[in-house]
Structure 1
């Protein structure tokens, strides 16, 4: 089965389980054609198909609750309940019990592709070793979060660099169109529950982003 047929079958299967936004699916298809790295990001369903045949021994390794669709752009920052700035994986919509090797190999593949495209300032010969080193260290430390500003000041400086300029960020957010359709009450409750204070004014905006879940 080629990727065109696989994509068609996946979207047909998905359309029977959730509402699809055809306009966004078209954007996704255009991005898939733009380069090999966005193609990887957009096609975890295809990875899931070919992974067991391509890496049969690794696919049989012990299973864990894997991220699944892991790649270098699935990392980011957020504030924990104590207000600390945390760095780590921030996209879990494809999480599923899989071989622990799935996440490691997919992350390595994405890093190689991103480096080839000039999006990641790493030498390809160092990528796999760096990922393995970080993975082993994470296991030894019990999976502790990366708390920026405590033991990872260098990472905080990257996260708060001019590329993460809050002025530019909020300018982009303010330019987004306001949501005009009805928003589920459960979504409103979830948003207001996460607010730092009650009775804060806010605006719900529509944003098209990402690739893996774009269109659904």
Structure 2
């Protein structure tokens, strides 16, 4: 029998580990980033991913990435992974999201039906250097701010707000009890309180002294409040936009999805065909080399295998639903072309629907440069990583090996009060606030699997790390712009095919 030895260093030893990491990798070591001289062709890296993707959807992926440097960045996790492998790291690892750009944060329902804000995409999750996620997140704020036409000052402040919130939150987690870190979360009330307070008390001194996500968010707003009427208007707009987004999230459930995605035919609901975005499996069976009957059997076999990965109580709950229909459904930007499906299930009657989403899980883009996942099935890698990083996860989160070789899948609810920020419509104050809650959220996710004491000691209480990562972000945004232009040229020249506007 193998005995697993788990080390339990003292608080002093953990803090010392952080101090030693700072000596080895100074906080300012991220300044002055330049691409490696042997940097691979970014277009070739992206094209390499297309080899296992649905051929008819690859042009859709390219078209979505062509919309702007920001949408290109969203789809170019593989490119940044290749760049990050040559960047300084302190040797302080955590479970990584692997693609922590600002659009991969959002709202969803906890099992207790509270609306939470958290990371919501884990296709690339893998243990690794915490800096990888911080840089991916911070650079996304620089790129998004530029995309929105912000000034250099506003762009820098939004990026700094994200990194500062991460550092300050980690300092807080380093002082908290182990269970307190694990239970920490950010719900809709904690999001809206600082916005409402700032709108109501713009220009007045904040005497609350509260810490954590709410305190960080309030601070990021307070620092800019009271300057002029424009800031007041931006605060009001940010608050109204957030209220609208959260209200919309509450309405997004399987019943709402049924009204949008399905229709009744001969007394039974079936998914509406809307190619190429939604294509019922009854129309694409030949694409996968199966007959309609074979496809139906595969879906049912996969459903049984997926149920087996759930907790017993949740498996019992899911067994009360029966499969009604299924379809291929295109999602996201970077995921377009990987296999993705939706399944409509019915409970007590046709007014009791449940929509599940099935997504293909491939190797993480980080696995080229970091130790491979301990999990043989990529779907299990995604699920285990998500459960580790999120404050609360979907009760129907599970995985299967897939019906074809090397086609691994993971399952979750399609809509469960899910909501996302409209980044392209944000004003500077709104983006700065959003940066604060994203930074706090990423820190909490890392604190669950990493060592918050060592990380807090490494980051320190000054802004050296914040400025260093902000400098990296500006330089990486410049490189992303060049990569985007190269990508567009590849499409215009015919090297890549693209369908825009889909």
Shared fold, TM over 0.5:
yes
**Number of the residue aligned with 2:78:** 45
SS in 1 for 2:57: helix
**Number of the residue aligned with 1:101:** 131
Does 1:128 find its partner at 2:130?
no
**Number of the residue aligned with 1:147:** 187
Of 42, 49, 53, 1:3 maps to: 42
Asked if the contact 1:77/1:159 (under 8 Å) is kept, the reply is: no
Asked if the contact 2:145/2:158 (under 8 Å) is kept, the reply is: no
**Number of the residue aligned with 1:22:** 55
Per-residue deviation, residues 98-151 of structure 1 (Å, max 9, x unmatched): 21111111111111111222299x9212223221233234432426221223x3
**Number of the residue aligned with 1:75:** 105
TM-score normalized by structure 1?
Answer: 0.75
Distance change >3 Å, CA 74–CA 65, structure 1 → 2: same
Per-residue deviation, residues 37-56 of structure 1 (Å, max 9, x unmatched): 11111111111112233xx2
SS in 2 for 1:23: coil
SS in 2 for 1:64: strand
Distance change >3 Å, CA 82–CA 99, structure 1 → 2: same
Distance change >3 Å, CA 76–CA 202, structure 1 → 2: farther
CA distance in structure 2 between the aligned counterparts of 1:93 and 1:211, rounded to whole angstroms: 12
Distance change >3 Å, CA 184–CA 95, structure 1 → 2: farther
**Number of the residue aligned with 2:96:** 66
Tell me whether 187-196 or 137-146 shows the greater mean CA deviation: 187-196
Asked if the contact 1:61/1:101 (under 8 Å) is kept, the reply is: no
CA distance in structure 2 between the aligned counterparts of 1:80 and 1:205, rounded to whole angstroms: 26
**Number of the residue aligned with 1:211:** 333
Per-residue deviation, residues 76-119 of structure 1 (Å, max 9, x unmatched): 22211212111110000100122111111111111111122229
TM-score normalized by structure 2?
Answer: 0.36
**Number of the residue aligned with 2:301:** 185
**Number of the residue aligned with 2:115:** 85
Tell me whether 108-117 or 2-11 shows the greater mean CA deviation: 2-11
**Number of the residue aligned with 2:229:** none
CA distance in structure 1 between the aligned counterparts of 2:191 and 2:63, rounded to whole angstroms: 38
Runs of 5+ consecutive residues of structure 2 not aligned to the other structure:
1-39, 174-180, 196-241, 263-271, 273-277, 286-294, 339-502
Distance change >3 Å, CA 195–CA 118, structure 1 → 2: farther
RMSD of aligned Cα (Å) = 3.5
User: Aligned residue pairs: how many?
Assistant: 204
Distance change >3 Å, CA 5–CA 158, structure 1 → 2: same
Runs of 5+ consecutive residues of structure 1 not aligned to the other structure:
none
CA distance in structure 2 between the aligned counterparts of 1:195 and 1:212, rounded to whole angstroms: 33
